[in-house]
A and B are shown apart, each in its own frame.
Chain A
């Protein structure tokens, strides 16, 4: 069996809970082999429910999903043997050591005794836990737990990796260490399906991004294309002499409509994508206006998110489940 397509294909995926509440409401998506797909959305948007269905832990109410060519409903065992998953909140036993976790996980996958040992050493090295390998997980930091979680997901050499909010609650350093590791895996040809509520995470890692809101995908494309579609750049200028503020603002208005700016500065959203910083500098020069600061702000996924859902995602990642 096992169809020809080695990525992830989802068509009309639905999951209902309780009295007809649709946590996932007709999701279509396609993840190419070797791609990092960023699944972006706030808490409760349906990200984790989708991941649970794709990893065969939750049967869909309707729709079809194929992972590595295997149907998640009819070929659960095949799907599970092909994928690795690090689900939300590192699910670890505080009383076992890192090495013991890896040995157990490898044994559950039917990996032989000798190979188990070697695999554990290699993966511990890979996620930087060699020194902590024989300490109990109860004493690990949040970042160490997530890294062990990742190592556990890799024990059986999966071709597709599901990471459900792998960096939620981590400090910036641990976060970037995990990003590096995920990028490295993708370079080695592993397909990564990554859910996140951090826009910059999707921006930094993902080849393509899908934005999910209220159980539906509202946008899907490469980060650059999404940004280009919604956002126009903006320019903010701060005159060297505060008395010039009005004149500077007038010059800027030739390039687009004024938008809110910091005190003592003026800003506009650029109307024409072909115009840039250089044009503005020249125009200011012609009027003999000198500026102390000039900034070009590229559109971000924040703008995309705002445009697509009508809400800001700001700070969502810092909130606890359920309060967002």
Chain B
């Protein structure tokens, strides 16, 4: 029963996503646009003494890969908020639905978007000459890490949706989340951040570890420490996101 529910709800969230090109296209283009601007404008940063990569493009490819997951969060949150606004969630609550099934099913769309994004971004990276130091296997690990990150942020988006019940509120938080991405080692490695408070913020910001894990596969090869920290950050995000979302969902579908 729960497997049927999960698979049907997953199908729904994926179908729903693919039928909304106005969600999918910006999720692919916007990160690439910023990537293009930053990579070109900051290209000379590779000449900073001590810079870890040969080219800034190689270094920055982690940017769209991680930043794209933000769209996953917002799209998952917006979809769930719409379900609350329209009463669709109430309709599902009338069935013997398992809250966890709803959540997992809903996040299937998010993971799907995350996978699509990482494949496209890696493809673009290859086109502009990025070489993956960790090779093909590394690229697979990279896709896995970004998909997990998308799942975690999707849970965060779901929490916001379930707490506020408003799609506008979820989208209004997009800039805030975007800021949190920039206040990390996403544009420069942490040891090259000079401003003290910025370095401290970036050190505590889990986004830094997600970025560094993804990045290590591109510019370093197999860096066990960076990968362990990256997957740990993703796992932490998933635990916080999903458990928070399940709790919020229990409150939202307060059936007797």
Q: Is B4 close to A, CB under 8 A?
A: yes
Q: Which residues of B contact A107 (CB under 8 A)?
A: 4-5, 7-8
Known A-B contacts A107-B4, A108-B5, A110-B4; the reply to A95 vs B91 at CB < 8 A is no
With an 8 Å Cβ cutoff, the count of chain A residues facing the other chain is: 34
Cα distance, A85 to B256, chains bound together (Å): 16
Q: Which residues of A contact B93 (CB under 8 A)?
A: 57
With an 8 Å Cβ cutoff, the count of chain B residues facing the other chain is: 26
Q: Is A218 close to B, CB under 8 A?
A: no
Q: Which residues of A contact B15 (CB under 8 A)?
A: 95-96, 100
Chain B nearest CB, measured from A109 CB (Å): 5
| A87 partner, pick from B5, B19, B83, B91, beta carbons under 8 A | B91
Known A-B contacts A85-B94, A104-B12, A110-B4; the reply to A93 vs B255 at CB < 8 A is no
A57, B96: Cβ atoms under 8 Å?
no
Cα distance, A54 to B4, chains bound together (Å): 28
Inter-chain CB contacts under 8 Å: number = 78
A95, B9: Cβ atoms under 8 Å?
no
Q: Which residues of B contact A110 (CB under 8 A)?
A: 1, 4, 96
Residues 59-101 of A at the B interface (beta carbon under 8 Å): 59, 72-74, 76-77, 80-81, 83-85, 87-89, 91-93, 95-96, 100
Per-residue A-contact encoding for B78-93, CB less than 8 Å = 1, 0 else: 0000010011101111
Residues 1-27 of B at the A interface (beta carbon under 8 Å): 1, 4-5, 7-9, 12, 15-16, 19-20
Residues 90-122 of B at the A interface (beta carbon under 8 Å): 90-97
Q: Which residues of B contact A195 (CB under 8 A)?
A: none
Per-residue B-contact encoding for A94-127, CB less than 8 Å = 1, 0 else: 0110001001110111100000000000000000
Select from chain B the residue with minimum beta-carbon distance to A56: B256
Q: Is B254 close to A, CB under 8 A?
A: yes
Q: Is A152 close to B, CB under 8 A?
A: yes
> Can you list 25 A-B contacts with CB-CB less than 8 angstroms, sorted by A residue number?
A55-B94, A57-B90, A57-B94, A57-B255, A76-B255, A76-B256, A77-B96, A80-B94, A80-B96, A80-B255, A81-B96, A85-B94, A91-B87, A92-B88, A93-B86, A95-B20, A96-B15, A100-B12, A100-B15, A107-B8, A108-B92, A108-B95, A108-B97, A110-B1, A110-B96
> Nearest 3 A-B pairs (CB), nearest first?
A91-B87, A108-B95, A76-B256
B interface residue numbers (CB < 8 A to A)? 1, 4-5, 7-9, 12, 15-16, 19-20, 83, 86-88, 90-97, 254-256
6 extra A-B contacts, CB within 8 A, seeds A57-B254, A83-B94, A93-B83: A87-B91, A91-B87, A91-B91, A108-B8, A109-B96, A136-B19
